[in-house]
Copies of this chain bind each other. A is one copy, B any other.
Amino acid sequence: MMMASQLDDELKLFSGSSHPQLAQDICDYLDIPLGRSQTTRFANDNLFVKIEENVREKDVFVLQTARAPVNDHLMELCIMIDALRHASAARITAIIPYYFYVRSDKKDEPRISVTARLVADLLAAAGANRVLTMTLHSDQIQGFFRMPADQLSAVPLICEYFADWDLSDFVVVAPDAGSARRAGAYAERLKLPLAVGDKRRSSNHDDTTTIQGIVGDVEGKNALLLDDEIATAGSMLGLAAYLQENSDVEEVYAGAAHGVLVGPALERLARPPFKEVVVTDTLPAPEGAGNCNLKQVSVAKLFGKAIRAIHTGESVSAIFR
């Protein structure tokens, strides 16, 4: 039904500044060269992007992940999309392994922004035609998009890491009721029992929350603390400390799709009771990651397969079944 040009139907993948290694890994998997572009920062802190090869009527993908400086990377992505659109790219897919403002997904206080939705709107305004992302904080975020948005899951990748472990005395523990659904998905796949931290607002009315108990049986087990992301590891540290003090928990392992790992995170995870931390490479490993026992699982092949399916019109879900 559409017109065909015999001249070119190749796909192009460009990379923003946030994670060029992952972009290169995906290109290696796809056996294509990384698209040439250049981002300059002017003296006045304005970014300037130049796409350095022809993209007319090409099927273009741009990879950017929500790493700090977050707003620079988000704006660089918008500028790249805008440049590509006006350069007549046939279709622009934003690949965002760790989605921007993914935690700002609801209005749980008056007069705040559901910024994860605002980001969807800004990407659309810039000219993105579709989005490919991984393990959102909540599945509903997909509904923030008016354009097709594919969400890959990191859960199988993380679970696969434990494939040949003897997990017979392990239990998956979620820090609180709000994360029970996410931890439950890991538990179900690993066929492990689930426990949930019972976190309550402190009695001193200062809006902080503390764990006041564990719902479920953890005595004498090894604990797997699994969630969608680890930022400062504060929540996991609190849970691990509680488990150590109040239960006869043996070892504690932490895992998440996204290793944000900022501030005191690495330091916290390097100390007992933490034995090992498993994340994917949707974000580059932070400096000093060697200090803690951090394992990174690569998502490059998964993204590569998804990109190829999107490009050729094959089913994305079929590939990962």
Residues in chain A within 8 A of chain B (CB atoms): 1-9, 11, 42-52, 54-59, 66, 68-72, 74-76, 78-80, 82-88, 90-91, 100-101, 103-118, 121-122, 124-126, 130, 138-144, 146, 148-149, 151, 174, 176-178, 180-181, 183-184, 187-188, 193-196, 198, 200-201, 213, 215-217, 231-232, 260, 262-263, 309-318
Q: Copies of this chain, how many?
A: 6
Q: Which residues of B contact A263 (CB under 8 A)?
A: 43
Additional A-B contacts beyond A85-B148, A106-B140, A177-B194 (19; CB < 8 A)? A1-B57, A2-B4, A7-B313, A46-B104, A48-B112, A54-B318, A55-B111, A57-B313, A71-B72, A80-B113, A83-B112, A86-B114, A110-B317, A117-B144, A121-B126, A121-B146, A144-B144, A177-B181, A177-B184
Q: A194 to B197, alpha carbons, bound, how many Å?
A: 10
Q: A231 to B46, alpha carbons, bound, how many Å?
A: 11
Listed residue (A6, A121, A231) with the most chain B CB atoms within 10 angstroms of its CB: A121
Are B48 and A1 in contact (CB-based, < 8 A)? no
Known contacts A71-B74, A121-B126, A143-B143; is-contact A56 B262 (Cβ 8 Å) = no
